[in-house]
Amino acid sequence: MLSRLLFLSAVLLILHGCAGRGTDGTTAKPKPEAGSPATGSVTPDKSSTSLNIASGPGIAERPDVQAFIGEISRKHGFDPKALSKVFAGVNFNQAILAAMAKPYEAKPWYSYKKLFLTDARVQGGIEFKQKNAQALADAESKYGVSQNIITAIIGVESSYGKRPGNYRVIDALSTLGFGYPKRGEYFRSELAHFLLLCRDEGMDPFQPIGSYAGAMGMPQFMPSSFRRLAADGDGDGKRDIWNNPADAIASVARYFSQNGWQTGAPIAVSAKVGEGVAYQGLVSKSLKPDRPLSQFVDIGITPEEAVTGSPWAALVKLEEESGPALWLGFQNLYAITRYNHSPLYAVAAYELSKRLVP
């Protein structure tokens, strides 16, 4: 145990000591991301999570890992020897690759929604709102994002912080970055952001836990999103999305405010189709609004609830057990897909948010 602590201390010292070393040998503190709030040291809480750590040798000696170490050392001023020590403690985890092969979003809507639109998740959301009323009000006031949407996102992502994941983030990103060729480039980029995050925030790279995809904390931010958009919700100088609901709430709100959320605008409505209307060619895959609502109405596709004006909309088709169900999604539904690109996710989050209204 003592040797492990000494090892981690040495790695952290080397990581921080090499931050931003210039060509003249001086050490410059790394510049924060544009728009990022002041940050402090954060220690993710592992106490409530049983970690899923695969046994096996580290991966530092792999040629592709050594190439990655060399690249980010040159680009970001890391000490290659320090990074080699870090990757000597990283493990590939086959369970992560298996999980990537069976994403929730592969399910039909009628199965997918049952995972998230449960009585327990609704009640959990109501309680989360009650416990964090001030933080939610502050975030809505500052960023213009609905309290119910913020709560629903945290509910879908981590059951309000109860299920933030049980994989070491460094293991998850390394497994996918070097063992999942389909999206390896993306996950290696996130791994680089994660190492920068640990350096910037003063975190032990083996400490943060998250999902099998490397998403972190209550809002399940990827490292690049954390570095760019995580927020300090209570003014304590930290961005602790693992343990501090105020920071998680502010971070979700800030994310949406930077990704096209329109304050007070509609999100989506169910739609009905007139007899004989050929709608199949109008169904959107991206959910990005592609025509005014009035054009859908003229075609024979009408909202089942009143909508003010004629905002641009996209036609969404979901599979219910009884057959296709159609929705008209507006800009704010599309904004939810900037958090997760799945139409199923976006509609589930919206439907959950509606059930959190007293």
Catalytic residue positions, numbered? 157
Q: Are 83 and 191 in contact (CB under 8 A)?
A: no
